[in-house]
């Protein structure tokens, strides 16, 4: 008779512990949501303007790199190299970013995309942050953070590609230095032989 009472007591304790953990998790999620709503004005402004600037800077750098390497001949960029893949990814991120940013803009930019990229207005947009937009921010914050993470990965890949290019240039230069050393040693050897003979 004591065994069923012990099992019942253990089951009750496990139920209360599980319920208390569930309640604590719910309270923490609610508290985090409340904090996000409270800090939404600064988060919206900082996150969106910083992400906008990073996306446009990365796109401009990749354009510059393409013009620098492309020139009149078609290079690896046109064959689907890393710069083209990164450029396509940046275009997709900018498209996604604009969709997320648009509901928050007080006055959407009316000029051309080129005017927006490097103007002072590009980083000084005014964003709506009333209660409805704070709740919207709570829903899209993870998507904006995801775009920022993907942008960081692209930047890391670009830096890796640049370092790899520099490494290849250094290896080529070391090969030329070794060739020069070999030629100089051959010349020195010939000079020594001509002095002897």
pLDDT tens by residue, 114-142: 555 555 455 456 788 888 888 888 889 99
Collapsing DSSP states into helix, strand and coil, what is residue 4? helix
Listed in sequence order, the residues at least 6 apart from 125 whose beta carbon sits closer than 8 Å to its beta carbon are 48, 49, 52, 105, 106, 109
Q: Which residues contact 51 (CB under 8 A, 6 or more apart)?
A: 97, 144, 147, 148, 151
Domain boundary assignment for the chain: 41-196
> Phi, psi (5° rounding) for residue 105?
-70, 135
pLDDT in tens, 59-108: 888 888 777 766 545 554 445 567 778 888 999 999 999 999 988 888 76
Percent of the chain topping pLDDT 90: 16
The region of weakest confidence among 16-20, 118-122, 189-193 is: 118-122
**Does pTM surpass 0.75?**
no
């Amino acid at each position: 008779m004591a065994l069923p009472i012990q099992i019942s007591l253990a089951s009750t304790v496990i139920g209360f512990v599980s319920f208390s953990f569930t309640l604590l998790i719910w309270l923490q999620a609610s508290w985090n949501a409340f904090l996000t709503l409270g800090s939404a004005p600064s988060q919206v402004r900082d996150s969106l303007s910083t992400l906008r600037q990073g996306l446009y800077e990365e796109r401009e750098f990749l354009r510059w790199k393409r013009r620098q390497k492309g020139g009149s001949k078609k290079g690896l960029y046109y064959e689907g190299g890393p710069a083209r893949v990164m450029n396509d990814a940046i275009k997709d991120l900018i498209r996604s970013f604009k969709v997320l940013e648009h509901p928050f803009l007080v006055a959407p930019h009316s000029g051309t995309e080129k005017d927006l990229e490097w103007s002072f207005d590009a980083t000084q947009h005014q964003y709506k942050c009333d209660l409805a937009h704070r709740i919207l921010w709570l829903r899209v914050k993870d998507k904006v953070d995801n775009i920022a993470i993907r942008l960081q990965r692209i930047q890391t890949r670009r830096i890796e590609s640049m370092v790899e290019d520099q490494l290849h240039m250094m290896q080529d230069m070391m090969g030329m230095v070794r060739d020069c050393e070999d030629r100089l040693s051959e010349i020195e050897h010939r000079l020594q032989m001509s002095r002897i003979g």
